[in-house]
């Protein structure tokens, strides 16, 4: 892993892995690896399952509705998320978004917006997953919400670069997240702390959307903006539910995320 890119994560993991070398699994129930990926971590040695092919099915949306990462692929996903390939894949997506953004003829009327998701799009939760395991256990809302309330999410560097470019072009930013209204203050503070310092609107999930699919929630919120005269120039997220549905915008971009699936 490039330690200069995620300095806080590097420090966090250094402490954790030092501790686990002294007390087995004290902090990480599912020991994955040291700070960088090791050879033989690509899933080819798992009988009956290619983890690389599994991840491809996830990213191409051929595999839908899945609840957990296959147990045999936890090491693979851990290596991928903390290693160079995840960063390279994120760069590839953002580079396309940057090329698109640079090609735009911005009207400058204040009505052009770019929609950004938050978790695993603008803020990375890798310290949480490094502690709790890489997706083989069912989603635990309690522990994840406790992590969110700590306000220690890290900026995904590639997305921060896109954010800065979009702002420089005069396009306004809208954050549209599945986080709840109770997490507004900590989310806003976390975003500002890591470099996402300004936005037109921060939209969090209200109680009226409880139990409803993310696609419906995000479609409705985007529709509201367009009804009020805004034009969605771009839309980026880590989940297909971020970029499917209605009022998705002129261009959509999907960041990699084999950790969880949101419908």
Q: What is the CATH number of the domain that holds 105?
A: 3.40.50.1000
Asked if the structure places residue 23 within a domain, the reply is yes
Q: Between residues 124 and 40, which one has the greater pLDDT?
A: 124
Asked if the structure places residue 138 within a domain, the reply is yes
Mean pLDDT on 70-98 = 93
Asked if the structure places residue 174 within a domain, the reply is yes
Find the farthest-apart pair of alpha carbons in the chain and give their distance in angstroms, rounded.
59
- Is the separation of the CB atoms in 153 and 192 below 8 Å? no
Asked if the structure places residue 140 within a domain, the reply is yes
| DSSP code per residue over the chain | --TTTSHHHHHHHHHHHHHHHHSTTSS-SS---SSS--TT-SSTTSTT--HHHHHHHHHTTSS-S--S--GGGHHHHHHHHHSHHHHHHHHHHHHHHHHHHHH-----SS-EEEEE--BTTTEE-HHHHHHH-SSSSPP-HHHHHHHHHHT-PEE-HHHHHHHHHHHHTT-EEEEEEEEEGGGHHHHHHHHHHTT----SEEEEE-GGGTTS-HHHHHHHHHHHHHHTT-EEEEEEESSHHHH-SS---SEEEE----S----
Strand order of the β-sheet with 112-116 is 201-205, 172-180, 112-116, 231-237, 251-254
Asked if the structure places residue 234 within a domain, the reply is yes
Least confidently predicted of 44-48, 118-122, 128-132, 167-171? 44-48
Distance (Å, whole) CA 146 – CA 27: 16
pLDDT for 48 equals 61
Q: Tell me: the pLDDT tens digits for 190-213?
A: 999 999 999 999 999 999 999 999
Asked if the structure places residue 262 within a domain, the reply is no
Asked if the structure places residue 2 within a domain, the reply is no
Regarding pTM above 0.75, the answer is: yes
Asked if the structure places residue 134 within a domain, the reply is yes
pLDDT for 227 equals 96
Q: Which domain holds residue 112?
A: 7-254
Domain count across the chain: 1
């Amino acid at each position: 892993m490039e330690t200069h890119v995620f300095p806080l994560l590097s420090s966090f993991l250094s402490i954790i892995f030092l501790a686990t070398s002294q007390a087995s699994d004290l902090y990480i129930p599912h020991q994955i690896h040291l700070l960088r990926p090791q050879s033989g971590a690509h899933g080819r040695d798992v009988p009956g399952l290619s983890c690389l092919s599994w991840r491809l099915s996830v990213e191409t949306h051929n595999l839908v509705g899945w609840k957990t990462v296959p147990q045999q692929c936890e090491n693979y996903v851990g290596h991928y998320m903390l290693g160079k390939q995840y960063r390279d894949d994120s760069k590839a997506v953002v580079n396309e978004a940057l090329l698109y953004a640079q090609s735009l003829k911005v009207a400058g009327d204040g009505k052009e917006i770019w929609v950004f998701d938050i978790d695993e799009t603008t803020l990375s939760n890798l310290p949480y997953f490094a502690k709790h395991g890489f997706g083989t256990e069912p989603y635990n809302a309690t522990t994840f919400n406790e992590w969110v309330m700590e306000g220690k999410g890290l900026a995904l560097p590639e997305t921060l670069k896109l954010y800065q470019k979009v702002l420089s072009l005069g396009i306004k930013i809208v954050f549209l997240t599945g986080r709840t209204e109770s997490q507004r203050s900590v989310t806003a503070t976390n975003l500002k702390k890591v470099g996402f310092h300004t936005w037109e609107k921060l939209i969090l999930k209200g109680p009226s959307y409880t139990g409803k699919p993310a696609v419906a929630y995000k479609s409705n919120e985007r529709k509201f903006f367009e009804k009020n005269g805004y034009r969605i120039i771009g839309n980026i997220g880590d989940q297909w539910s971020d970029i499917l549905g209605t009022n998705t915008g002129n261009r959509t971009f999907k960041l990699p995320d084999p950790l969880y699936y949101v419908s």
